[in-house]
Amino acid sequence: MSAGDVVARNAKTVVSAIGGVINGLAVAAVLFQYAPAGVAGYGAAVLSALEILRSANVWIVKNESAFAAAADACSELVSDIEHPQLAGAGAA
């Protein structure tokens, strides 16, 4: 899988991350210009954390079906481990 394939598959997340970087740089520039130095650093850090969470949220929503399939597979695996005598019953 090439980098282009990963970007294409996660295009909305990439766009969200790029927008977050642009927004973060713009707000950080304003904070460092007008806010006291101690407050500006904390403000930039909080904004960065929020932008990371926003991009992660976009990625999770985009891949929600994959998470649901993985959760179902894990549930089935746990059931097979807990009840090994029933593990092959569904396939027969």
Contact call for residues 20 and 55 (beta carbons, < 8 A): yes
- Measured over the CA atoms of residue 46, residue 52, residue 55 and residue 59, the dihedral's sign is negative
Q: Where are the alpha helices (DSSP H) in the chain?
A: 3-9, 11-34, 37-62, 64-82
What is the biggest distance separating any 2 CA atoms in the chain, rounded to whole angstroms?
71
Question: Please, what is the average pLDDT of the chain?
Answer: 83
Report the predicted TM-score, pTM, of the whole model to 2 decimal places: 0.61
Contact present, 24 and 53 (Cβ < 8 Å): no
pLDDT at 91 over 80: no
With a cut of 80, say whether residue 36 has pLDDT above it: yes
- Local confidence band at 92 (pLDDT 50, 70, 90 cut-offs): very low
